[in-house]
Amino acid sequence: MPYKMLIAEDEQEEYELVLYLLNKLKLDSSLQIYHAENGKQALKILEETPIELLLTDIEMPFANGLEIAAKARARNPYLPIVFFSCYDNFSYIKTALSVQANNYLLKPLNPEEFETTMLHTLDLLKQAELQKKHADSRIQALKNHYLYLKLNRMPCENLPEMGGADFADDYTLLLLLHFEESFFDCEPSVSEGFINFLRQILPFSFDFVNLNPSQSVLLFRDETGSHMEQEQLAGICRQIHEKILETYQIHCYFAISTPLSECDDLPNAYEDACDLLETRFFCQDRYVFHKQPQKELFSENYDLCSEILVSARTDVESGDLEQLTKDILRLNEIFEQSRNYSHIYARYTYSSLIQILYRNLDSTDMPDDIERIFSCSFIHEIEEIVFAVLARLQTEQHAASPSRKHVIQLAKQYIHKHYREQISLNDLAGAVYLNPSYLSTVFKMETGSSINKYIKAVRMEKAKQILTQTNIRVSDAGAAVGYSNTSYFIRSFHEYFGETPDKMRQK
């Protein structure tokens, strides 16, 4: 960014000469120039603008250059000051020295001397800027180190270089970011790039602390997002998740703390946020977590889980697979709707259920399925394992049952009756009173086709009949067999028959 330079000069010709010399030296692009035609204007600009370089004449109306320099020096002890004057007066030079002027140039300006002075002065500014950047980086590193120790409940001392650690008392909210895999990889450039990315999309300021390759914390102060409703902040986090996924092709999870009142709240807030993230095991496709009032479904949830396992054992022994399916769905509902369980307890409960299901199965796969349960990332993955085992149990139990053909016939009748509608596997399974996974398995065994392929075949044959026997539009024909999107209907029709609806109609 260009440096802000004030030129205090009441003579227009002299001011234009300075501009000419700056342009000739190609320094004008490095400077944002402010011009004061008298001392009063100069003092006003100094009051309103953080001037970084002062070039001033000695003799000025309302306030001379020496007064301007003294006021400027009082505001910024490190401000470079250059005087230029037509007076070769020792008292002026002495006063200039008292305000630590960088140079005293005589009018008319000597271009070479002016060039030397300006280049030297700009070099000083660059050095000062670099020193400040290093100092700021060191202070930020000390702050981050202090916060890292504080968040992890490690011994930490106050920071005398910054006047203590009171800065940490200003934080009012903590936001934990967690990646499923290493993201930062301990490379500073990765963290810096991600911080800049967040600053572009977050509507308020924050401090950033990297904890490990997969976790970082954002800390907010009073004037930022800490006063927002948690649901509103959660909405912003969901938007950030989408941006991160789009930019980095990785999922990020967010945990929003309860409000903080002092620095000593930080470790508890961080631990609470980590506990919140543990509940993601029960929530597929959820990436933002914050404290919510817990609605207890049952007064003694742990006892209820044990009762369901006892009931499941009875169901398996009696061969009542319909009741067994209900018990499994009931167990799933308990874990999905309550956040009071640990994922370890959930895994243990489902592994016990798997052992019960395998009692009537002629298979040695049980250890592998239990091992898979303890390696699942989300509860829905465990549910899929359980339903797959249940489907095998149902298949074996009904393998010789003549009623299976009747069930498939009922399923076909339902499809022929409802092909104009959107038919889901759950809808179809509910219509014939079977577990969805089991219905899918036996349907394929009986017909040699998956349910989706069968539904598509029914719709395509109905569409062919409509197109060859009526003159209605292709789009209406598609809608009549359950396709609201005409383009998708035409593509599906071509895939099935090898030609478009229009070509078939032309035959």
The fold adopted by the segment(s) 165-290 is Alpha-Beta Plaits (3.30.70)
What is the predicted pLDDT for the residue at 131? 85
Taking only the tens place, the pLDDT of each residue in 327-357 is: 999 898 888 776 677 888 889 999 999 999 9
Q: What local confidence, expressed as pLDDT, does residue 301 receive?
A: 61
pLDDT of residue 277: 86
Per-residue confidence (pLDDT) for residue 296, from 0 to 100: 47
**Euclidean distance between CA atoms 425 and 327, whole angstroms:** 20
Q: What is the pLDDT of residue 399?
A: 60
Domain boundaries, the chain: 3-129, 165-290, 301-398, 403-506
Which pLDDT score, from 0 to 100, does residue 196 have? Answer: 87
Q: pLDDT at position 174, please? A: 93
Do 403-506 and 3-129 fall under one CATH topology?
A: no
Homologous superfamily in CATH for domain 403-506: Homeodomain-like (1.10.10.60)
Low-confidence residues in the chain, pLDDT < 70: 87-100, 158-165, 185-190, 222-228, 292-302, 338-339, 398-403
Please report the pLDDT score of residue 195 as a whole number.
87
pLDDT at 270: 92
Tell me the fold of 3-129: Rossmann fold (3.40.50)
CB-side exposure of 225: number of CA atoms within 13 Å?
Answer: 23
Contacts made by residues 348-357, CB under 8 angstroms, sequence distance 24+: 349/305, 349/309, 350/382, 350/385, 350/386, 352/309, 353/309, 353/312, 353/328, 353/386, 354/385, 354/386, 354/389, 356/309, 356/312, 356/313, 356/316, 357/312, 357/316, 357/386, 357/389, 357/390, 357/393
